[in-house]
Chains A and B, each alone.
Chain A
Amino acid sequence: MVQLNTKIGSLELKNPVMTASGTFGYGTEYADFMDINRLGAIIVKGTTLNPRQGNPYPRMAETPSGMLNAVGLQNKGVDYFVDHIYPEVRKFQTNVIVNVSGSSIEDYAQCASIINTLDDIPAIELNISCPNVKQGGMAFGVKPESAAQVVSAVRKAYDKTLIVKLSPNVTDITEIARAVEGAGADSVSLINTMLGMAIDAERRRPILSTVTGGMSGPAVKPVALRMVWQVAKAVKIPVIGLGGICSATDAIEFLLAGASAIQIGTANFIDPSISEKVVDGIEDYLTRHGFNSVQEIIGALEVI
């Protein structure tokens, strides 16, 4: 029997498999397809202090081995989450983590402080890397100073596990990772989507209403893997890896690169039960290679 459990700060996970924010709704959407409680955690969709309508349609473009989205953080706001969603998601027998976004430092801190009062939410993932909103989002996450500022403010308002989600749209992601570590983050998750665009040549127009959008899916995996490897060496806090993970093998690669846990995103759209299959696949891999625990493969990449 191999040990699949892992830790993110003080947060205990029964296995390293999480679902990525924005790809798994509130978990309830997937209950028909799999057993949510088998996952290490689910990260529910981006929540902001005030309701947001998101961007106009079209918000999605399929690209080779990937997709672009420009949802723009559509959500009904944190109060709606507390009153209507939380009573449902707290019933899950897995960690429910809320992804928190904002357009000002005050918004982030206030939203985090409201979620801090919810007993059954053991962690938040701070989204300083959304490429699809005009204000806030990625603007905070592309400079070490502003990233540290927002994390410091949230740290004061939030006393449970604080994960910070990093943008790949930077020159040196390790700089940002170190800055948020210094500001009190318990963990970093990476990568958020890569800024991209798609054009409809026949109509001579962009496909997305916002022209540019966030790219995800298998196409971004090599970049994500490289960044996870770099960041895992640069910080002492645990790293959560994501970006194009579609199989247990993909997940293992991120663990080997130094991730203590992984998230599955776009692959949920293709196979709504993929995350459960990845849990099983990681266990098979560990057994096949004679490991007793998933901890033995975290950062175990052998570089000659």
Chain B
Amino acid sequence: MLVADNRMVAPSATLLTLQYPGELPDMVAGQFAELQVPSAKVLLRRPISIHAIDRSKSLVMFLIQIVGEGTQSLARLKAGDKVNALLPLGNGFSYRTTHVARPLLVGGGVGVAPLLFLGQELEAHGIRPTFLFGGRTENLILRKEEFRKYGDLFMTTEDGTAGEKGFVTNHSLLMDSEQFDRIYACGPTPMLKAIARWAMDHETACEVSLEHRMACGIGACLCCVEDTADKGNVCVCKEGPVFTIDKLKWFN
């Protein structure tokens, strides 16, 4: 695929837009791509969730946090460069197959990435989601204006620079537990576990997207496993990355 655009949207995050040749394949929010890294120093592909799509222009967007050599190399890509991408991979969130009316989309750090695509999809289904994002500080909560196009955005920051001070699970929005009929979450594992615990305690359906270390991305190498209640160790790349929390063995 060709790079259509690549620009920094925060001190350590880039927004990479790829041009798909021809009509975009069907994609579900929560699915990801395995991007080949244009650096001789990096061997494996990088699994990056699909941030948004533009079906009319056949564009796929990725919000990438720069953490190491692999993501740095992806951030250096220029318009016109070629990138080998395997996509779409994984299962995605269940909004096409399960009923949802009042969704809460919870994100932390770069875990907000797939939630924009999910917001787009929900809007197309006539559903206006609520976003609840957490971060250490205000400028680490990425692309706020984009998210506000699709739903109301609430925030928590650890230093109080935006939204309420504290963690997402302490936000006053969660005082009324009847407000939401399903939670979709993506972010650091401690945050996911906290929101999963809240959802369990309040009997709210909850899906979490996991970010395990992957190699192949297609269920062959068995590196990215998560232990599940019904199937034991399963590949996050193939059976996930999205799991309903009752399938996970986090609390037993």
Contacts and interface: CB of A to CB of B under 8 A. Distances in A.
Given A54-B233, A60-B221, A269 B44 contact: yes
Contacts of B218: 25, 29-30, 272
Nearest to A24: B220
A67 B43 contact: yes
Interface stretch (B97-105, B110-118, B209-217): B209-217
A71 B43 contact: no
In the complex, which range does the number of interface residues on chain A fall in? 20 to 34
A171 B42 CA distance: 31
A60 B213 contact: yes
Interface in A10-51: 22-25, 29-30, 33, 45
B221 A23 contact: yes
Contacts of B221: 22-23, 60, 69, 71, 269
B68 to A, nearest CB: 9
Interface in B30-51: 36, 41-45
Interface residues of B, number: 26
Contact of B213 (A23, A30, A61, A66): A61
Contacts of A69: 215, 221, 223
A109 to B, nearest CB: 25
A135 interface: no
Nearest to B212: A57
A29 B218 CA distance: 7
Q: B-side binding surface: helix, strand, loop or mixed?
A: loop
Given A60-B213, A67-B43, A268 B220 contact: yes
Contacts, number: 84
A218 B43 CA distance: 9
Given A30-B218, A270-B44, A272-B86, A59 B223 contact: yes
Contacts of B44: 62, 67, 269-270
A293 interface: no
A23 B36 CA distance: 18
Contacts of A29: 216, 218-220
A217 interface: yes
B222 A59 contact: yes
Contacts of A61: 213
**Residue of B44, B86, B214, B227 ringed by the most chain A CB atoms within 10 A:** B44
A62 B45 CA distance: 10
B232 interface: yes
A45 B235 CA distance: 15
Contact of A74 (B41, B215, B222): B222
B70 to A, nearest CB: 8
A87 interface: no
**Residue of B43, B44, B215, B216 ringed by the most chain A CB atoms within 10 A:** B43
A269 B215 contact: yes
A53 B231 CA distance: 10
A290 interface: no
B207 interface: no
A55 to B, nearest CB: 9
Contacts of A268: 216, 220
Nearest to B216: A269
Interface in A206-233: 217-218
Closest 5 CB pairs of A and B: A60-B223, A25-B220, A269-B216, A29-B220, A269-B215
Interface of A: 22-25, 29-30, 33, 45, 53-54, 56-62, 64-67, 69, 71, 74, 217-218, 266, 268-272
17 contacts: A24-B220, A25-B219, A29-B218, A29-B220, A54-B225, A57-B225, A58-B212, A59-B222, A60-B213, A62-B42, A62-B43, A62-B213, A69-B215, A71-B222, A74-B225, A269-B45, A272-B216
